[in-house]
Amino acid sequence: MARMMFREAISQALREEMYRDERVFIMGEEVGRWGGTYAVTRGFLDEFGEKRVRDTPIAEGVIVGAAAGAAIAGLRPVAEIMTINFAFLAMDQIVNHVAKLHYMFNGQITCPIVIRTVGGGGRQLGASHSQSPDVVFAHFPGLKVVAPGTPADAKGLLKAAIRDDDPILFIEHATLYQVRGEVPDDEDYLVPIGVSDVKREGRDVTIVSYSKMLQVSLEAAERLAQEGIEAEVIDLRTLRPLDTRPIIESVQKTNRVVVVEEGWRTYGVGAEIASRVMELAFDHLDAPVRRVAQAEVPLPYNRRLEQMALPQVDDVIRAMKDVLYL
């Protein structure tokens, strides 16, 4: 095990997979000479050459479309979209083609493309560059959506995504790149896609979260533990396919659940989780499912206003106490 930043874990996963499989290559805006917007691919151009580290024009539809063609032809592209907000410019390619090719051609075509992109707020990038529209992409069958919340999961899930034959949207939160954690140094370390994980054991209330909000939820759980309240924290890790088994098993034990997401509450991930809990574990609930999410406004640029709009530790604590009737 080695302790490293989230960004370093992503970089290590890419490097290991590029050495393991010569079909893997990287493409995107500024991934080569500039080493990526968040320095994830720094040094890759010198290490692997222009054939496998390709700078592209600022044209997201072209990036995903070209990557899809390469994947169909037998390569395994990792296409970087600088921010998930720009993925809307490639929406047709992502959800109308990449996600559907395998099904529409009756399994005769695979499209093993990984689309790496950055989501989330908290860096004062303004309303059009700070969104968390993860649920929009998770809506479409045929596209797997992965959103890790720890460095170890970031490495293991990215390696698994690159080896997967299905198209995958891999979402990295903008404020997680500096987060540190223990990461296995095994070159074959994989984290299975579509498997939720219990990050903290507890008995009193279940918290369901993912990505940056996992860190927020864990901090809230630790603070409440000082008051004798033990929360169980479940990390979704993957939004599609969605693994609800650990959630239902936890609710059967704690009888209370709080869902924490950074996206907007209306039609969000939390709504889907709440619905499944009601369908599969209604008789075990001692309180209504509570959701914590971003304020329903375009995210402000002003730092104080931005932080007010984003879910905070105190918001999660208040929600947990509400379902415990404290």
Active site residues: 60, 129
One-letter amino acid at 266 equals T
* CA distances, 97 to each of 64, 87, 104, 154, 296 (Å): 10, 14, 9, 26, 31
Torsion of CA 234, 40, 29, 144, to 10 degrees: -30
| CB within 8 Å of 289: residues ≥ 6 apart | 257, 258, 259, 273, 274, 277, 278
Calpha distance 253→192 (Å, rounded): 25
Got the DSSP string for 72-117? HTT-EEEEEES-GGGGGGGHIIIIIIITTHHHHTTTS-----EEEE
DSSP code for 232: E
* CA distances, 1 to each of 76, 152, 183 (Å): 28, 10, 5
β-sheet bridge partners, residue 170: 116, 146
Give all strands (DSSP E) within the chain, no chain letters: 2-5, 24-28, 53-55, 76-81, 114-119, 144-146, 168-173, 180-183, 197-200, 205-209, 231-235, 238-240, 257-264, 290-294
Pairing verdict, β 205-209 and 257-264: parallel
Calpha distance 237→325 (Å, rounded): 29
Calpha distance 201→25 (Å, rounded): 39
Cβ pair 290, 258 in contact under 8 A: yes
